[in-house]
Amino acid sequence: MVATEDIAQTAVELLGESWNGVRIVELEGPERYSSDDVAAALASALHAPVRNEIVPRSAWEELFRSQGMKNPIPRIRMVDGFNEGWIDFESGQRGSRKAGTTLQAALQALVSEKQSRACTHAATGKEYNDMSRIFITGSSDGLGLMAAQLLLQQGHSVVLHARNVQRAEAAHRKLPFGAEAIVTGDLCVEPAWPQGQEGRARHPHSGPRNRSTSKKG
d(CA 157, CA 57): 42
Sign of CA dihedral 11, 16, 21, 27: negative
pLDDT tens per residue, range 179-205: 777 877 765 555 544 554 443 333 333
CA 188 – CA 83 distance, rounded (Å) = 40
Q: Which architecture, in CATH terms, is 131-187?
A: 3-Layer(aba) Sandwich (3.40)
Where do the domains of the chain lie?
1-54+92-129, 131-187
Handedness of CA 67, 37, 108, 210 (dihedral sign): negative
- Write down the pLDDT at residue 30: 94
Q: Model-level pTM? A: 0.53
- Average pLDDT in the 137-155 region? 74
What pLDDT band is residue 213 in, cutting at 50, 70 and 90? very low
Contact 91, 26 (CB under 8 A): yes
